[in-house]
Amino acid sequence: MSPSLLFSAPFSFLGELQDEFRRLLPTTFREIWKRQELAPDPTLTAWIVNPAQGFRVDASVLKDLPALSVLITPSTGTNHLDLEACRQRGVTVYSLLDDREGLNEIAASAEFTFLLLLNTLRRLDRGAGEVTAGRWRDREEFLRGSELQGKRVGILGFGRIGRRIARYCDAFGAEVAYTDPYVTSADTPAVPLEELFSRSDIVCICCALTPETNGLVGAALLSRLKPGACLVNTSRGEVLVEQDLTRVLADRPDLRVGLDVLAGEPVGLHRRSPLLEFHRSGQIVVTPHVAGATAESQTQAARIACRLLRQHLGEISRPYGARDDDSTVRSEEVAR
């Protein structure tokens, strides 16, 4: 049986890069979003997996792919993969973290985080909704926002995304601080986590999902948020304790929240999140995990995946900027 590659992430914009994959292995390009769309395949040896798919790659999936030897996710997050099941099966797993230099060229998630930050202050979505409803400035009190200039912005996770956001906020005249036990910055002050939440006008969560950060932001921290504070999360939904945020929002309509992620996305539980009711009522804004969804970022992510596959097949010795292991709490820098 000849080895083959499945590229199951979005690909329509990749152009000639598709030929690069075909030169490595016979390749099938097919977007997969649901478990039933993945058929058993005894020849599949390599898989570029869709990080936004609605199921986890676990032992039951691997059982249907007995020849699989390498799995590459064009994302930094890996909570859609059962890493232990892959290890037991001898499947090598790569992510964008295995090519740091290539990853640093991706700006989409940082730009979107900043967009969501600005929207929590100015509520562009409300303004557009008023026009759709046939109104103009009939409810100016409802539409009145706040400026970023002069605000204190706290960044949780000072990796690639966090550092970019700091630069953006600095350009807008905001004061920035961060919390990240694994990063030292000469230009931006580091503060304890509790102080980040109690002193910031805006808190941006940009840390990776790890055992250390899972459930990190719960009632104890959320209760510290200032009156009228903004909270933005583009990392992973599991970093926030959603039940705690739900209770806080019920008591604190003054809080302004923007979320691009919800807990349980890899297995579809996000569709039942209690936070969606607050979105439907207009109290908060939830977007469908699209921070990294640009043609540029996804093309760069696919280019990195191609380079990692060449490395795995022995065509190059290692990716430039290969992974270091000091990044437990870093930006969730996903080209999603």
What are 189-227's pLDDT values in tens digits?
Answer: 999 999 999 999 999 999 999 999 999 999 999 999 999
Whether residue 138 is found in the same domain as residue 222 = yes
Neighbour-count burial of 63, counting CB atoms closer than 10 A to its CB (0-12 exposed, 13-18 middle, 19+ buried): exposed
Report pTM.
0.89
Helical H runs in 104-173? 108-122, 124-132, 140-143, 160-171
Q: Is 237 within the bounds of a domain?
A: yes
Whether residue 73 is found in the same domain as residue 99 = yes
pLDDT given for residue 270 in this prediction:
94
Whether residue 127 is found in the same domain as residue 228 = yes
Q: Is 257 within the bounds of a domain?
A: yes
pLDDT tens digit string along 219-258? 999 999 999 999 999 999 999 999 999 999 999 999 999 9
Whether residue 71 is found in the same domain as residue 139 = no
Domain boundary among 270, 286, 302: 286
pLDDT given for residue 2 in this prediction:
83
Q: Which domain holds residue 79?
A: 4-104+294-312
Percent residues over pLDDT 90 in the chain: 90
Q: Is 136 within the bounds of a domain?
A: yes
Whether residue 151 is found in the same domain as residue 238 = yes
- d(CA 335, CA 183) in angstroms, rounded, equals 22
Whether residue 91 is found in the same domain as residue 123 = no
Whether residue 55 is found in the same domain as residue 122 = no
Pairing between strand 70-72 and 27-29? unpaired
Sequence-distant (6+) residues with CB within 8 A of 132 are none
Whether residue 181 is found in the same domain as residue 208 = yes
* Total structural domains within the chain: 2
- d(CA 166, CA 176) in angstroms, rounded, equals 6
pLDDT given for residue 336 in this prediction:
31
CATH code for the domain of 100: 3.40.50.720
Whether residue 89 is found in the same domain as residue 212 = no
pLDDT < 70 stretches in the chain: 1, 315-336
Q: Is 123 within the bounds of a domain?
A: yes
Is residue 320 within 8 A of residue 148, CB to CB? The reply is no
Q: Is 114 within the bounds of a domain?
A: yes
Whether residue 94 is found in the same domain as residue 119 = no
Whether residue 144 is found in the same domain as residue 100 = no
Sequence-distant (6+) residues with CB within 8 A of 320 are 99, 101, 102
Q: Is 281 within the bounds of a domain?
A: yes
Whether residue 156 is found in the same domain as residue 214 = yes
Q: Is 198 within the bounds of a domain?
A: yes
Q: Is 159 within the bounds of a domain?
A: yes
